[in-house]
Amino acid sequence: MSAPRSTSALLYLSGVTVSFDGFKALNNLSLLVEPGEMRAIIGPNGAGKTTMMDVVTGKTRPDEGEVVFDGQADLTRLDEADIATLGIGRKFQKPTVFENHTVRDNLLLALAGQRSWYRLLTAAPTRAENDRLEEILAVIRMRPQQHMSAARLSHGQKQWLEIGMLLAQDPKLLLVDEPVAGMTDVETETTAQVLREINKSHSVVVVEHDMSFVRALGVKVTVLHEGSMLAEGTLDQVSADPRVVEVYLGR
């Protein structure tokens, strides 16, 4: 394998192919995300969106291709924990918080910093860490619930807690998987606002089905189809592309 190409892009995918028993979930996919950018990735079911996320976060190893983060790190050789430590966060479609832990402990677990098991045996939270926790609790407006176990939170509160955990993790790049699935219009609009807010200090890749939400984000769009890139541009540009129209409507 050749040394990863030096690039200014934050995330660089080139010629990535993943196959499951002969079925190509990703087929020679290439993608560039610049620092500070927010990118929406759309595509019909089975287009390879989730597999792409799995490849970037180290859950799935590609059969071929390069995945480079921050111009130097070859993600194909690292595992989930390494990649997370490098600064890639992932938000799942279903809010996953640690239900048996309190809100505060959830945030503490996500807080950037100490991860090694032998340090954590004796380490008490430092003052800086406690300050940061207070800050995040204020942002997500959950200070009153901080000692409540996460299992008792409402669905919306869990979403907020998870956003708080992402803030605590403070990743350089945030991957968000279908954030508005099953949400009302109002919630969808709020979520778009929150993502734009986060984008001020983090790069974000959003995978989404919902066109109105993508429109609300107002960012560059990449259309995936059958594991490779079909089109790229503003939402209006790609919507005008006859191939995209055919993929979504045709047959």
Partner 1 sequence: MTPSRVLTGMVSLITALALAGAAVAGDLGTLVVNLTTGGFGDRETAINALAASGEPRAAPILEALGAGRLYVRPADKAVVIGKAQGNQLDLTDALTGKPAGTASEDALQRVRINNRLRGVIDDAVGSLTLLSPDPRMRRSAADSLFKQRSPSALPAVEHALAAEKDAGIKRAFAEARASIILASNDASKAQKLEAISVIRGRGDRDAMGFLQAAASSSDADIKAAATAAAGSLNQTLAVWEAAQNVWYGISLGSVLLLAAIGLAITFGTMGVINMAHGEMVMLGAYTTFVVQQVILAYAPGLFDASIVIALPLAFLVAGVIGVLIERSVIRFLYGRPLDTLLATWGLSLVLQQAVRTIFGPTNREVRAPSWMSGSFLVGQIDVTYGRLWIVVFALLVFAVLILVLRKTPLGLHMRAVTQNRPMAAAMGIRTPRVDALTFGLGSGIAGLAGVALSQIDNVSPNLGQGYIIDSFMVVVFGGVGNLFGTLLGATALGIANKFLEPYAGAVLGKILVLVFIILFIQRRPRGMFALKGRAVE
Partner 2 sequence: MITRFLWQGVDRKLRWFIALVLAAGIVPVLLNLFTPPGSALHVPAWALQLVGKYLCYAALALAVDLVWGYCGILTLGHAAFFALGGYCMGMYLMRQIGSRGVYGNPILPDFMVFLNYKELPWFWRGFDHFWFAAPMIVIVPSVLALALGWFAFRSRVTGVYLSIITQAMTFALMLAFFRNDTGLGGNNGMTDFKDILGFPVQADGTRAALYLASALMLALFLLIAGAIVGSRFGKALTAVRDAESRMRFLGYRVEGYKLFVFVLSAAMAGIAGALYVPQVGIINPSEFAPGNSIEAVLWVAVGGRGTLIGPVIGAVLVNWAKTYLTGALPEVWLFALGGLFIAVTLFLPRGVVGLWAQLKAGRERSRRVAPA
> Which residues lie near partner 1 (CB under 8 A)?
20-21, 23, 25, 50-51
Q: Of 84 and 214, which CB lies nearer to partner 2 in the complex structure?
A: 84
Chain residues 132-171 in contact with partner 2, contact rule CB under 8 A:
165, 169
Q: What would the two tokens of residue 141 be? A: 């407006």
Q: Of 77 and 115, which CB lies nearer to partner 2 in the complex structure?
A: 115
Q: What would the two tokens of residue 40 be? A: 């929406």
Is 116 a binding residue for partner 2 by CB under 8 A? The answer is yes
Long-range contacts: 230-237, Cβ < 8 Å, 24+?
A: 230/43, 235/40, 235/211
Alpha-carbon distances, residue 73 vs 3, 26, 70, 112 (angstroms): 10, 21, 7, 19
Q: Of 54 and 208, which CB lies nearer to partner 2 in the complex structure?
A: 54
Neighbours of 196 (CB within 10 A): 15
Is 110 a binding residue for partner 2 by CB under 8 A? The answer is yes
Is 126 a binding residue for partner 2 by CB under 8 A? The answer is no
Q: Of 72 and 96, which CB lies nearer to partner 2 in the complex structure?
A: 96
What, of partner 1, partner 2, none, does residue 85 touch, CB below 5 to 8 Å by kind?
Answer: partner 2
Answer whether 200's CB lies under 8 Å from 217's CB. Answer: no
Answer whether 165's CB lies under 8 Å from 106's CB. Answer: yes
Binding site for partner 2 (CB under 8 A): 57, 59, 79-82, 84-85, 89-90, 92, 96, 98-101, 105, 108-110, 114-118, 120-125, 165, 169
